[in-house]
Amino acid sequence: MKDKIYTYFDVLNQHSIISATNLKGEIKYVNDQFCEISKYNKNELIGSPHSIVNSGFHNRDYFKDLWRTIGRGKVWQGNILNEAKDGSNYWVATTIVPITEHGKVKEYFSVRIEKTEQMRLEEERNLHERRFTQLFNHISEGVVVMKQEENKFIISDYNRGAEKLDGKKKAEVLGKEVSQIFPGTESGGFSDYIKEAFQKGYAKFPILHYQDDQIDSWRKGEFYKLSNNEVVCVYHDITDEINQLEQLKKYNEKLEEIAFKASHEVRAPVASILGLMQLIDFNNLSENNKTALQHMASAVEKLDYTIRDMVQVSYDTEEGKELFAKLSDLKEHFHNA
């Protein structure tokens, strides 16, 4: 039996950081692993308080709880950040076992496993999660996270942007089926994009009109499948933009109509002038009159082209009232001429 115990201890001794202390916390034994990670030699450690490797990271209450637990003869487990002789820090997953004799604690036996890299990765992950949470809650876009249970899509998270866009509270939608909270997903085609995202990992839905008893809006967005097999939907409400485009379209149609009517009214007298000039018998005119009429004809033709170009440009750049005013001035000018 003793041989087995020694064998177990030998294995433990080779792969763990081991120490033993008396009731005062003074070190009685350390293994080579302890010396290697702490960068102290055994002579420096034996007889020294275990606080020799205290990094100062943990508060007093943390160690009070530790000592209170082992002082009662109970095992304590936790993570401790220690400091090596050279000032570097290292994390250890620690188990402290009180060694009792006749019901009384005589010493403490500690087994540690280094987890510096693991703790670094956990802290990095926690940092990313905190950043994601801040971004998730503060972006103006709506974000809905969904998981698939059989053939149902269940809402697992819902950000503040979505609350504002949809007029719903997070508590109302969590754990509910998407089609239950948003019944318009079936008729609007949204459910097809959700299925595509779960199957292919990504889906982008174009401008779609979503409508139910509470929501009537235009949306566009994208679906992304996460590593945990959930799908996140990031979407925008573009109802205002759609309404503005519709108003602009109607305005452009009206502007084109005004431009057409106004240009017709102005170009008509220009055409009359050109027509009348063609009726003039140039043979009976003096050279000076011929020259004057030729200059007049050239000027009227240029004016006709200018009006035509101005009308064309007005379709895109000028307001109807301004266009109509300019063309009306030209019309009056022709009549006066």
pLDDT per position as a tens digit, 257-312: 766 666 666 666 666 666 666 656 666 667 766 676 676 677 667 766 666 666 66
Question: What's the confidence (pLDDT) of residue 299?
Answer: 66
Residues 6+ apart with CB under 8 A from 179: 153, 185, 186, 191
Residue 333 — very low, low, confident or very high, per pLDDT cuts 50/70/90? very low
Q: Give yes or no for a contact between 252 and 315, defined as CB atoms under 8 angstroms apart.
A: yes
Q: To the nearest whole number, what is the mean pLDDT of the chain?
A: 82
Contacts of 58 (CB under 8 A, 6+ apart): 80, 81
Do 6 and 115 have their domain in common? yes
Residue 169 lies in a domain: yes
Strand runs labelled E in 200-326: 202-211, 216-225, 231-237
State the residue range of the domain holding 84: 2-120
Q: Let me know if residue 129 belongs to a domain.
A: no
pLDDT in tens, 29-75: 999 999 999 999 999 999 999 999 999 999 999 999 999 999 999 99
Q: State how far the Cα of 21 lies from the Cα of 49, in Å rounded to an integer.
A: 8
pLDDT digits (tens, 9 = 90+) for 111-155: 999 999 999 999 998 888 888 888 888 888 999 999 999 888 999
In a domain, 134, yes or no: no
End position of a domain, from candidates 186, 205, 237: 237
DSSP H or E stretch at residue 214: none
Are the C-beta atoms of residues 158 and 243 closer than 8 Å to each other? Answer: no
| Number of independent structural domains in the chain | 3
Same domain, 71 and 111: yes
Q: What is the pLDDT of residue 337?
A: 39
In a domain, 274, yes or no: yes
Burial class (CB in 10 A: 0-12, 13-18, 19+), 96: buried
CATH code for the domain in which residue 102 is found:
3.30.450.20
Within a domain: 292: yes
Please check whether residues 8 and 37 belong to one and the same domain.
Answer: yes
Let me know: does 17 contact 33? Beta carbons within 8 Å. yes
CA 288 to chain centre: 78
One domain for residues 12 and 105 = yes
Residue 128 placed within a domain: no
Which of these three, 237, 262, 294, is where a domain ends? 237
Query: Which has the higher per-residue pLDDT, 104 or 138?
Result: 104
222, 228 Cβ separation under 8 angstroms: no
In a domain, 194, yes or no: yes
Asked if 242 contacts 207 with a C-beta cutoff of 8 angstroms, the reply is: yes
Same domain, 232 and 257: no
Task: Please check whether residues 233 and 249 belong to one and the same domain.
Answer: no
